[in-house]
């Protein structure tokens, strides 16, 4: 089906509806749609979704939406996925996701500065609270978010993609109840400090910290229960200092306790291929990904 419009439209199709790249500015929908795709239009607000009890998926990416108002998805019990990426969203009301049990939510490339919102009685609460016991995948990359503390109570999360934000530090127990989290992408933020208990009690398979100006990592690896097939991505900066169990690692100090060495030896490490070599790299040269080994190891360089 091809649908072309330059303005407002009343649409009364059933089951699945895709109206992409049609310059729609607003739309009125029928009540029998299950999967809705209105991506790449010019919508400035989310169309009325009242009485859409059977809606399962909504795709509104690549529009001009600026706000998600309260109760807009109220009582859509079957709704499991919403994609609002690449809009102009600055504000999400605290009750926006009341009545739904989303599994996947994508808010990438918007203008959000926080995961919290101010209520009428001047309290700051997370707009994600209604999803604490359902959301498994959360995409929030390319916004202006400076912390992820609001995620600590999201018990079902297993995948967080938060690349390219403004996060500067990872606080103690910030993921305290996110025990199912396996994939965590925090690459290209502004992280300088990681508390030793930031990942307390978690089981992470892929932790991506590439592109952060990390100056100190007080990360107690005993608290990361990475048993097998774990990937910890330390991509930046070239002279990274790692503080593990109180042991500072640099070119002159690369001795680790047997326990920490054992964990790193079971972990796949990924760093820049042009990373300058030091004793740490040579000590754990067998832990690096075979396809992305630093050049100095490939070339059998010798450290003086």
The 8 Å CB, 24+ separation contacts for 162-169 are 162/138, 162/186, 162/189, 163/187, 163/188, 163/189, 163/208, 164/188, 164/189, 165/140, 165/141, 165/189, 166/113, 166/190, 167/191, 168/192, 168/193, 169/193, 169/194, 169/195
Model-level pTM?
Answer: 0.78
Q: Quick one: tokens of 301?
A: 């360089």
| DSSP calls for 223-257 | GS---SSEEEE----TT--EEETTEEEBTTB----
d(CA 260, CA 218): 13
Query: Hey, CA dihedral for 170, 293, 221, 251, is it positive or negative?
Result: negative
Query: Each residue's pLDDT tens digit in the chain (304 positions)?
Result: 333 344 444 444 445 555 555 554 555 555 567 888 999 999 999 988 877 788 899 999 999 999 999 989 987 889 999 999 999 999 999 999 998 999 999 999 999 999 998 877 888 899 999 999 999 999 999 999 999 999 999 999 999 999 999 999 988 888 888 888 888 888 889 988 877 678 777 777 778 877 777 655 544 444 455 444 555 554 433 333 332 322 233 444 344 444 455 556 666 777 777 776 777 777 777 777 777 777 877 765 544 4
Q: Please choose, from the candidates 133, 157, 130, the residue with its C-alpha nearest in 3D space to the C-alpha of residue 72.
A: 130
Q: Is 59 exposed, middle or buried (0-12, 13-18, 19+ CB in 10 A)?
A: buried
DSSP string, 61-97: -SS---EE-TTTTTT-TT--EEE--SS---EE-TTTT
Task: Go through the domains of the chain in sequence order and give each one's CATH number.
Answer: 1-137 (3.80.10.10)
Tokens coding 123: 């309290």
CB 87 within 8 A of CB 66: yes
Q: Strand 247-249 and strand 242-244: pairing?
A: antiparallel
Backbone phi and psi for residue 209, each to the nearest 5 degrees, phi listed first: -115, 25
The pLDDT of residue 195:
76
The single-letter DSSP state of residue 258 is H
């Amino acid at each position: 089906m091809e649908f072309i419009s330059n303005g407002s439209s009343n649409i009364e199709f059933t089951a699945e509806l895709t109206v992409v790249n049609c310059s729609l500015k607003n739309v009125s929908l029928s009540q029998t749609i299950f999967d809705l795709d209105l991506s790449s239009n010019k919508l400035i607000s989310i169309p009325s979704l009242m009485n859409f009890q059977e809606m399962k998926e909504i795709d509104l990416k690549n529009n001009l939406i600026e706000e998600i108002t309260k109760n807009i998805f109220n009582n859509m019990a079957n709704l499991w996925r919403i994609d609002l990426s690449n809009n102009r969203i600055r504000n999400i009301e605290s009750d926006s996701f009341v009545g739904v049990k989303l599994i996947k939510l994508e808010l990438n490339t918007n203008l959000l500065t926080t995961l919290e919102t101010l209520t009428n009685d001047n309290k700051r609460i997370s707009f994600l609270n209604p999803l604490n016991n359902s959301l498994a995948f959360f995409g929030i990359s390319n916004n202006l978010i400076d912390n992820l503390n609001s995620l600590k109570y999201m018990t079902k999360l297993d995948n967080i993609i938060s690349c390219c934000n403004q996060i500067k530090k990872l606080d103690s127990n910030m993921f305290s109840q996110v025990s199912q989290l396996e994939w965590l992408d925090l690459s290209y933020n502004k992280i300088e400090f990681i508390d030793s208990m930031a990942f307390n009690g978690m089981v992470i398979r892929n932790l991506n910290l590439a592109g952060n100006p990390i100056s100190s990592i007080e990360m107690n690896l005993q608290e990361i229960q990475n048993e097998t097939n774990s990937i910890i991505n330390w991509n930046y900066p070239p002279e990274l200092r790692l503080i593990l169990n109180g042991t500072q690692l640099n070119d002159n100090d690369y001795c680790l306790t047997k326990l920490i060495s054992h964990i790193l030896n079971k972990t796949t490490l990924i760093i820049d291929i042009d990373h300058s070599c030091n004793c740490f790299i040579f000590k754990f040269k067998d832990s690096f990904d075979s396809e992305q080994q630093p050049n100095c190891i490939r070339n059998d360089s010798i450290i003086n």
